[in-house]
Amino acid sequence: MLRKRVIVCLDVRDGKTTKGIKFSENVDIGDPVEMAETYYREGVDELVFYDITASAERRGIMLDVVRRVAERIFVPFAVGGGIASVDDMRAVLLAGAEKVSVNSQAVRNPDIISTGAMRFGAQCIVLAMDVKADPRVPSGYRVVIDGGRVETELDARDWARRAVELGAGEIVVNSIDTDGVKNGYEITLTRMISEAVGVPVVASGGAGVPEHLREVLVDGKADAALVASMVHFGEYSIPTIKQYLQTHGVSVRASAAPF
Amino acid sequence: MRIGIVDYDAGNLTSVETALRRIGADFFTTADPDAIFEADRVVFPGVGEARAAMEVLNARGLSEALRRYADSGRLILGICVGAQVILDASDERDVSCLALIPGRARRFPVSELKVPQIGWNGVEHDNQALFAGVPSGGEFYFVHSYYPAPAETRDTIGWTEYGVRFASAFRRDNVYAVQFHPEKSGPYGLRVLTNFITMKEQ
């Protein structure tokens, strides 16, 4: 049986892991390579790095981080943030990432999904979407971009379906409303997207305690759950989260002794 | 022990190279059909599509080289699409493959399960040398829409359940194949790669 995945998310700015609440008040919290290695040893199933470096000139720093991560962890990881072309995708994949994640750029230019999927395979292309509850659109959820600052015309469910048609192999659904506030994932949203598409759905935004992961993996029908603050600040570790899930009926990967 | 990695544009070899470096393997990567004969053992990775993979392998003379390499009795390890094309054929656009082991790669049947299978799944195995140090049922990382179906039950050495119970690892004589990605499967994956380069021929 396929296991549910626990994914750790690291926001990286100028080569440092950073953490903000609702996309503001960012503070540096450590070295992404060292943090990645710690999570790997603890048995994380996958990692995702979002490059939130503001200036394009400093993007090379991120590729260096990706290369160093690839040398030290042997589970899949994705890289997102500032991926605007197939060349950007290629650079990240050649540096050792398994997947690339596109968000705002894919809204502006959906062709990047199809071109990327054709060139590298759908399994490499992750569509991340930031979503806000909004009764004015049919599904009740609207896609927002640029870190939640800009509303789009896109309905979240339609956009997820469209992205999969274009070739996205996985969808990350991040709720702007719950992100960073640790009151739990947006279950209704996650479940709706998961039922709408035939590819894996990763829930993001709102994890505060292990029960939140159980809820979204079971009730929200997510295939994977993304965590950040709850592990970055040492409140919970990957083994304690997984142990909770396993004892509450969610099948997860057992940790293996380092080799 | 020198390992040759076959490069045929079928995706990214970086992660296989990095994993082999981590376990201290002496390896080289080549797209040259003659150069693979300099290797004591061959790792044959692949992501993407079986037909595209076979077109490149045929065009570059690598199909013939891999068949001859297999005949030489030295060990080969196919990974993911590299495992699928070791069989006779694939349902993926109905392509003929290397035919090193009888069988074909089949599409997962339509069901509620998502395709591709992406993520960690258990591999039950019968304790062959390739899995030394890995408990039966230990998890490995999978990404695939087609699964290997060797014609002979006795060729299967690892089983995984995803709607169907399929051969996630199979072997005939010196030819080994794993559907999962050992290079991305954490400690167990590194263990399998280490076993492949250190195990005795049997």
Residues in contact with B123: Cβ distance below 8 Å, sequence separation at least 6, in sequence order:
B131, B134, B136, B137, B138, B139, B140, B158, B159, B160, B168, B169, B180
Chain-centroid distance of CA A193 in Å reads: 15
The Cα of A26 is separated from the nearest Cα of chain B by a number of Å equal to 31
Q: How many domains does chain B have?
A: 1
Dist. CA B64–CA B68, nearest whole Å: 6
Write out the residue range of the structural domain in which residue B146 sits: 2-198
Q: Sort out which chain B residues have CB atoms less than 8 A from A199's CB and list them.
A: 114, 116, 118
B117/A2 Cβ within 8 A: yes
Q: Is some CB atom of chain B closer than 8 A to the CB atom of A249?
A: no
* Domain residue limits, chain A: 5-247
**Residue A230 amino acid letter:** M
Distance of residue B144 Cα from the nearest chain A Cα, in angstroms: 8
Q: What is the DSSP letter of A3?
A: P
Write the CATH number for B84.
3.40.50.880
Numbered residues of chain B with Cβ closer than 8 Å to any chain A Cβ: 11-12, 14-15, 18-19, 21-22, 47-49, 113-122, 133, 138-139, 141-143, 161-162, 181, 183-191, 194
Identify the closest residue of chain A to B49 by CA–CA distance: A121
- Measured between alpha carbons, how far is B182 from A95 in angstroms, rounded to an integer? 19
From the number of C-beta atoms within 10 Å of its C-beta (0-12, 13-18, 19+), residue A132 rates as middle
We find that the CATH architecture of domain A5-247 is Alpha-Beta Barrel (3.20)
Q: What pLDDT tens digit does each residue of chain B (202 aa) get?
A: 999 999 987 666 889 999 999 999 999 999 999 999 999 999 999 877 888 889 999 999 999 999 999 999 999 999 999 999 999 999 988 999 999 999 999 999 888 888 889 999 999 999 999 999 999 999 999 999 899 999 999 999 999 999 999 999 999 999 999 999 999 999 999 999 999 999 998 7
Instruction: Give the distance, in angstroms, between the CA of residue A205 and the centroid of all CA atoms in the same chain.
Output: 9
